[in-house]
């Protein structure tokens, strides 16, 4: 793609001109979106196929237009200001509307090749479903790039409303009126351990052994998990040796030790296969949880988001979420 100067293609107005807002420049809005999502001018330039100087010039015009720095430099790139965070969902919606209008103007020709769509999910779902989703998209929506963006149930709805994700997979929390959702399954829990820590032929844990062993906790907070709540109701308590915020870390944290981790069964099965860990039923009665696919009410007007949901929803509904029993 030929790199162009964004600033040279836009109407020229004086900085601070009160009529600026009457002269919409979609190129400037695309630059804002790219910088916000990518966290840097260089990466935004690569995404847009333009020069970094063109992105810098466009950012200067955006700052004059909105009367705000919008992004400040940090050691890791450009961080959005409060005003930029307020603008992100508004600008995202404006660009989405434009993309939808082009799809309406070219019925049957609105392909998704070269497009990207963002799926918000925690890494347990990514571990379990990511590869299968990529394979299905390659067949049903070739050329569409899926962006897996880390999320959890407490932030999934906010990500959709802020247009930081087009669709999300979550365990509840999708109750905003502007959102739509589909129940796609019910999940349960399983235990992972280093197989060398088990007795020969051992296929199950007793409650006593479960409590006696040290645990690795997966939690965004790092202190309390659903296992602790269940054990408290039984008058029991476990010993947590370490905490992590990512399920994928368990592939490395459990090997070579006697600690165990209790996690959603779908992720446990994937990690057991990939890392050679032992997969056992959880010996205590854990609560189940609903698994939902969510999206904004207007998102499916975008052919890319619609293609992702067409591939993803049947995959979720056909997935065997629970296979183990105590």
Residue of 260 and 110 predicted with greater confidence: 260
**Placement of tokens 């007795």 in the chain:** 199
How many angstroms separate the CA atoms of 48 and 34, rounded?
Answer: 8
**SS3 call for 267:** helix
pLDDT value at residue 102: 66
Same domain, 23 and 161: no
pLDDT value at residue 260: 98
Structure tokens at 124: 């347990």
- Residue 99's domain comprises 6-105
Tell me, rounded to whole angstroms, the distance of Cα 245 from its chain centroid.
14
Q: What is the DSSP string of 117-150?
A: EEEEE-HHHHHHHHHHHHHHHHHHSTTPEEEEEE
Same domain, 85 and 156: no
324 inside domain: no
Structure tokens at 165: 């994700």
Same domain, 71 and 21: yes
Is 163 a residue whose pLDDT tops 60? yes
Is 134 a residue whose pLDDT tops 90? yes
CATH number for the domain harbouring residue 265: 3.40.190.10
pLDDT value at residue 3: 54
Residue of 156 and 300 predicted with greater confidence: 156
Nearest to 138 by CA among 121, 113, 117, 118: 113
């Amino acid at each position: 793609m030929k790199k162009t100067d964004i600033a040279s293609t836009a109407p020229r107005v004086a900085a601070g001109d009160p009529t600026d807002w009457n002269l919409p420049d979609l190129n400037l809005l695309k630059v804002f979106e790219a910088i916000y999502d990518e966290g840097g001018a260089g990466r935004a330039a690569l995404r847009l196929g333009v020069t970094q100087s063109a992105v810098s010039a466009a950012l200067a015009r955006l700052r004059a237009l909105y009367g705000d720095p919008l992004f400040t430099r940090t050691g890791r790139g450009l961080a959005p200001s409060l005003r930029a965070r307020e603008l992100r969902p508004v600008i995202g919606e404006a660009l989405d509307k434009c993309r939808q209008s082009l799809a309406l103007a070219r019925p049957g020709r609105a392909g998704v090749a070269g497009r990207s769509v963002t799926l918000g999910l925690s890494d347990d779902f990514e571990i379990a479903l990511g590869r299968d989703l990529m394979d299905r998209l390659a067949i049903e929506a070739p050329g569409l790039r899926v962006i897996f963006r880390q999320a959890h149930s407490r932030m999934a709805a906010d990500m959709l409303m802020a247009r930081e994700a087009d669709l999300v997979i979550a365990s509840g929390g999708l109750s905003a009126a502007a959102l739509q959702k589909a129940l796609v399954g019910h999940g349960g829990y399983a235990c992972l351990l280093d197989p060398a820590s088990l007795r020969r032929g051992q296929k199950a844990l007793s409650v006593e052994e479960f409590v006696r062993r040290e645990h690795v906790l997966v939690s965004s907070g790092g202190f309390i998990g659903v296992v602790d709540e269940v054990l408290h109701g039984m008058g029991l308590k476990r010993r947590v040796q370490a905490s992590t915020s990512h399920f994928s870390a368990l592939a490395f944290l459990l090997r070579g030790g006697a600690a165990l981790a209790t996690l959603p069964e779908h992720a446990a099965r994937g990690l057991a296969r990939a890392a050679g860990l032992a997969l056992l039923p959880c010996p205590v009665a854990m609560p189940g949880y609903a698994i939902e696919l969510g999206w904004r009410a207007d998102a499916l007007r975008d052919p890319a988001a619609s293609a992702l949901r067409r591939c993803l929803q049947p995959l979720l509904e056909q997935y065997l979420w629970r296979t183990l029993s105590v």
